[in-house]
């Protein structure tokens, strides 16, 4: 069979504009999905299903850059050291700060020091302090599996496609882990996104010829699966079950997988300069926003719990629900970006060890 891998790997310094835009979109989707909590119970169900799954997009992007940036001169030790420095250090710094905040809150609630320490242990044994940060141990586990990804890149196209279909089938039946605390289950579930990113990089020139067809197919599959999940399956949000407990077919996985293809194609059509610049700015801040926004979630929750705010919740109309959703998103998203910029300006080059 003719080798479809027509792309010569580029240097690490080369940037891919559409993937910068996609990173900006991905972090926005993640925070949008985390901004619905105060907009319940009347938030539009179809919109909620469309907003979930941003994590898969992030993994897809990581797979693309693994092949495009790291594969040409791959060194396992240097790769893991680089990822540990970029991810684990800010993960630990922000987690320790968040744990202190939580323990202070428990102390204010009247818990004695023994119960406080016990609560801290229950929190830490999950592998993360702030809920969205389950992603860091999982993605680092993915990076540790890089030798397997190298073997995947070096095999033939038919085998690559077969493995992508196999892992996708497993993910559709297995679902994401309960509370996202089983990192091995997350590794298996999200592997198809990583493999898809590798394939998009490896066969980019060939796939560009089918650009319009892939865009249409991606959008159609997103629409079909979102509508089916919302109105036929009647399931809202991501699917979470124990690894070997059958609970139906995960349509959110299929929606997000085809959404990766559709969003990449759409990002290639972004022509407004202001939007390009804004998405590139967000892409640069994507991991700081990811690390920081759960802290602002706690802040928003505490504000909403104030006595003066209680008449506003729960929201009773769709209009108010959408308004609350937008306000929460702006506070979490751009508040996190502002904090990241401030920390980087104050601590200069060391700021990345604090916020990513």
Per-residue model confidence as pLDDT tens digits over 187-197: 999 999 999 99
pLDDT of residue 4: 40
Mean pLDDT of 128-142: 93
Interatomic CA distance for residues 19 and 284, integer angstroms: 11
Mean pLDDT in residue range 72-79: 94
Quote the pLDDT of residue 202.
93
Which pLDDT score is estimated for 126?
83
CA distances from 165 to 26, 97, 195 (A): 23, 41, 10
- Please report, rounded to a whole number, the percentage of residues in the chain having pLDDT higher than 90: 66
Average pLDDT over residues 161-185: 95
Contact 134, 127 (CB under 8 A): yes
Does the pLDDT value for residue 185 go beyond 90? Answer: yes
Q: What are the tens digits of pLDDT across the range 188-234?
A: 999 999 999 999 999 988 888 888 889 999 999 999 999 999 999 99
Residue 7: what pLDDT?
41
pLDDT band at 113 (very low <50, low <70, confident <90, very high): confident
Which of 204, 198, 138 is CA-nearest to residue 164?
198
Q: How many Å apart are CA 39 and CA 348, to the nearest integer?
A: 37
* pLDDT tens per residue, range 238-283: 999 998 888 889 999 999 999 999 999 898 888 889 999 999 999 9
Residue with tokens 């997009």: 57
- 67 closest CA partner among 161, 156, 195: 195
Across all residues in the chain, what is the average pLDDT?
90
Mind listing the pLDDT tens digit for each residue in 315-339? 989 999 999 999 999 999 999 999 9
Give the Cα-Cα-Cα angle 169, 181, 62 (nearest 5 degrees).
60
CA–CA gap between residue 37 and residue 52 (Å, rounded): 13
pLDDT exceeds cutoff 60 at 5 = no
pLDDT at 10: 42
Strand runs (DSSP E) across the chain, as ranges?
none
Give this prediction's pTM. 0.91
């Amino acid at each position: 069979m003719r080798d479809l891998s027509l792309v010569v790997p580029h240097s690490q310094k080369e940037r891919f504009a559409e993937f910068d835009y996609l990173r900006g979109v991905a972090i926005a989707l993640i925070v949008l999905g985390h901004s619905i909590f105060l907009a319940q119970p009347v938030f539009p169900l179809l919109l909620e299903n469309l907003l979930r799954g941003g994590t898969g997009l992030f993994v897809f992007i990581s797979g693309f850059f693994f092949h495009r940036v790291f594969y040409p001169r791959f060194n396992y030790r240097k790769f893991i050291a680089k990822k540990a420095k970029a991810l684990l250090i800010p993960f630990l710094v922000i987690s320790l700060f968040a744990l202190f905040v939580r323990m202070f809150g428990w102390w204010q609630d009247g818990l004695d020091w023994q119960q406080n320490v016990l609560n801290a242990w229950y929190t830490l044994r999950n592998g993360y302090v702030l809920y969205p940060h389950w992603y860091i141990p999982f993605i680092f586990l993915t990076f540790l599996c890089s030798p397997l990804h190298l073997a995947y890149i070096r095999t033939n196209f038919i085998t690559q496609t077969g493995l992508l279909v196999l892992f996708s089938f497993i993910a559709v039946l297995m679902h994401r882990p309960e509370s996202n605390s089983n990192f091995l289950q997350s590794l298996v579930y999200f592997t198809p996104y990583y493999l898809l990113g590798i394939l998009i990089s490896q066969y980019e020139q060939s796939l560009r010829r089918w650009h319009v067809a892939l865009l249409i197919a991606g959008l159609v599959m997103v629409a079909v699966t979102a509508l089916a999940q919302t109105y036929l399956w009647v399931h809202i949000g991501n699917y979470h079950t124990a690894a070997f407990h059958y609970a139906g077919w995960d349509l959110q996985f299929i929606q997000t997988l085809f959404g990766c293809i559709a969003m990449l194609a759409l990002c290639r059509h972004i022509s407004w300069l202001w939007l390009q610049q804004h998405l590139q700015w967000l892409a640069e801040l994507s991991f700081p926003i990811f690390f920081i926004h759960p802290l602002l979630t706690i802040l928003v929750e505490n504000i909403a719990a104030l006595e003066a705010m209680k008449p506003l919740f729960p929201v009773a109309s769709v209009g108010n629900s959408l308004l609350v959703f937008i306000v929460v998103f702006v506070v979490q998203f751009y508040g996190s970006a502002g904090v990241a910029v401030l920390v980087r300006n104050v601590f200069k080059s060391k700021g990345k060890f604090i916020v990513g």
